[in-house]
Amino acid sequence: MLLLVALSVILLTGCSRGAYPLDFFPEMHYAQSYKIQEPPSLSAPAGSVPRNVTGGPLLGTLPEVEYTLAQAKLLVNPVSKDASVSAGAKLYRANCAVCHGAAGLGDGPMKDRLVTAGYLASPANLTGAGPTKAKPDGEVFLIVTKGFAAAYGLPADRFVMPAFRKLLTDQERWALVQYIRSIQQ
C-alpha cells in the first residue's frame, strides 16, 4: 500500500501546470535568470521609421508604390551606374543566376527543370541578344519587382519569374537593372 501511495505521488507531481516539478532536461527559457535579464520593452518614438543595418528602411514598413506598365516605362533609374554594377552583380549571382545563368544567357541550372515542369517559357536571355535590351529600365525594374506574369497581367501559374519586391529593396532592384544593362553591352 505504501509503495502504491509513493508511486501515485511521483506520477501526480508531473501533472502540475506551468513549470516542471522535476526537470530532467533543463532548458534556458525555463530558467528564472533568463527572464530577469530581459531588457524592458520600449516603444519607438512617434513618427520614427525602422531602419535596417545599412541605414535603409525595413522592407514592408513604407508603402509600396504600384506602377502600371505604362508608368514603369517612364521611370528613370535613380541609382548611379558606377556604384551599383558591382552590387548588382552580387545580387544577380545570389538571386538570378540559377535561372538566367552566370552570363545571363538564360541557360541556368533551372532551365531544363522549368521546361519539364510545364512552364511556357524558359528563362530569358538577359544579354544584348535578349528581349530586355529593347525594354526601358523602368519596365525591367517592374518585371523584377512584380515578376514577369504580374508585370504583364499574364497567368502566374504559367510563368515562373518571381516577384522580388519583398526580397530586395528598391535600390537593390535598380542595381540589378544596372547590372543587366552592363552585360548587354
Residue 112 lies in a domain: yes
Residue 27 lies in a domain: no
Residue 83 lies in a domain: yes
Residue 57 lies in a domain: no
* Residue 62 reports pLDDT greater than 50: no
- Complete DSSP assignment for 100-122: H-TTSSS--TTHHHHHHTT-SSP
Residue 16 lies in a domain: no
Range(s) of the domain holding residue 91: 69-183
Banded pLDDT at 153 (limits 50, 70, 90): confident
Cα–Cα distance between 65 and 152 in angstroms, integer?
17
Number of structural domains, the chain?
1
Residue 50 lies in a domain: no
Banded pLDDT at 54 (limits 50, 70, 90): low
Residue 85 lies in a domain: yes
Q: What pLDDT sits at residue 136?
A: 93
Report the candidate in 100, 73, 105, 83 with the shortest Cα–Cα distance to residue 175. 83
Task: Cell numbers for 68, please give them.
Answer: 502600371
Residue 7 lies in a domain: no
pLDDT tens digits, residue range 87-103? 999 999 999 999 999 99
CATH of the domain at 115: 1.10.760.10
